[in-house]
Amino acid sequence: MLSIQSISVFQYKNYGNQSWDFKEKIVGISGRNGIGKTNLLDAVYYCCFTKSYFAKSDTQLVTHGAQGLRVAAEFLRNGSPYSVTAIIRENGKKEFRVNDTLCEKMADHIGQLPAVMVAPDDVQIITDGSEERRRFMDSLFSQFDHHYLLQLMAYNRLLLQRNGLLRQLSENGRKGLDLLDVIDAQLLAPAQYVHNQRKTYLAQLIEIIKKQYAGIAGEDYFPDLSYESPLLEDSLAKWLEKNRDKDIFAQRTTTGLHRDDLAIKLDDKLFRLTASQGQRKSLLFALKLAAFEMLKNFKGFAPLLLLDDVFEKLDETRMQNLLTEVCVRNDGQVFLTDTHPERIKKSLERLHSGFQLLELGKG
């Protein structure tokens, strides 16, 4: 079982110096638009992932006009205390401590405090390009397969090096092809590992998504989901060899893992072009709940579930079904935000399970 007991923030977005205690499995957070509900969820997310779900850089998290920030939180994981402190110093340097010990590599912390965020703009996972879907699956798989994260990081680092070299080769008449051979050889092992794991994990994930979609949408047909990868057609070694001239000309690596996708179709057409708003919402929740379920299966305990503004997204019945599923049937801790204190209170009361309601901006 994983739960967060308390969090304190200093100079974090719109918060000066504030702390909260979380006493229940279900925590509702209400308050008017712009009061800081999302920011509070994001601070929890930050403790789990060493980065924000929303902001591209840490500097965006520091309160405007201030320098440096601090976020500290106490968790309980399988009965043992687990504390996290994140500090961004005035000079921008970041320190992350777990149980008072400095974390040398942020990657080592990923997966220790599994969490799933559901936020209003997440529908981009379905409507936007493949990058959003890769981010979704990588964030999920990295939380239960540490080697996956390390191999993915190695692949991305080498890819950057390769693209830099391709630019040089294109500009200086191909001097340095030996180095390209070296980088290409180094890319193969991490690419193969990530590809194999994506194949395995996506097959499992897709089955859970279908089940969740049926439960949420109540439809007896499913979107067709499949793993698309150039590596399903040929090995990366072959692709790199075949595309070498093209890559030098384009000054970038034109094929590889970074082109993978979780393809989503409905009646043989792209889901994002044909699906209704309701179907998109249902699929988004199905993806997120599938991520939640998969994490729970792998970790042996439920991840934190951070639901931002979901009341605006689903009708009342679907919302109540979802809350029963994630708040009552699961033993995990759930955070929900809503602008209307009465609406969230009423929904949570109907669950007949203990909950806490934080009203931001009051008292």
Ligand X SMILES: Nc1ncnc2c1ncn2[C@@H]1O[C@H](COP(=O)(O)OP(=O)(O)OP(=O)(O)O)[C@@H](O)[C@H]1O
CB of 129 to ligand X, least distance (A): 25
Three-state secondary structure along the chain? CEEEEEEEEEEECCEEEEEEECCCCEEEEECCCCCCHHHHHHHHHHHHHCCCCCCCCHHHHECCCCCCEEEEEEEEECCEEEEEEEEECCCCCEEEEECCEECCCHHHHCCCCCEEEECHHHHHHHHCCHHHHHHHHHHHHHHHCHHHHHHHHHHHHHHHHHHHHHHHHHHCCCCCHHHHHHHHHHHHHHHHHHHHHHHHHHHHHHHHHHHHHHHHHCCCCCCEEEEECHHHHCCHHHHHHHCHHHHHHHCCCCCCHHHCEEEEEECCEEHHHHCCHHHHHHHHHHHHHHHHHHHHHHHCCCCEEEECCHHHCCCHHHHHHHHHHHHHHCCCCEEEEECCHHHHHHHHHCCCCCEEEEECCCC
CB of 120 to ligand X, least distance (A): 7
Which of residues 180 and 306 has its CB atom nearest to ligand X in the complex?
306
Which of residues 60 and 196 has its CB atom nearest to ligand X in the complex?
60
- In the complex, the residues that contact ligand X under the rule CB under 6 A are 13-14, 31, 33-39, 60, 62-64, 309, 339
Q: How far apart are CA 128 and CA 122, in angstroms?
A: 10
CB of 220 to ligand X, least distance (A): 35
Sign of CA dihedral 247, 250, 255, 257: positive
Which of residues 69 and 194 has its CB atom nearest to ligand X in the complex?
69
CB of 347 to ligand X, least distance (A): 16
31 is in an annotated binding site: yes
CB of 275 to ligand X, least distance (A): 25
Which of residues 16 and 176 has its CB atom nearest to ligand X in the complex?
16
79 is in an annotated binding site: no
Work out the angle at residue 131's Cα, subtended by the Cα atoms of residues 128 and 132, and round it to the nearest 5 degrees. Answer: 55
254 is in an annotated binding site: no
Which of residues 244 and 340 has its CB atom nearest to ligand X in the complex?
340
Which of residues 34 and 92 has its CB atom nearest to ligand X in the complex?
34
297 is in an annotated binding site: no
CB of 46 to ligand X, least distance (A): 13
34 is in an annotated binding site: yes
35 is in an annotated binding site: yes
List beta partners, residue 305: 116, 334
28 is in an annotated binding site: no
Which of residues 62 and 125 has its CB atom nearest to ligand X in the complex?
62
CB of 117 to ligand X, least distance (A): 13
36 is in an annotated binding site: yes
Residues in the annotated binding site for ATP = 31-38
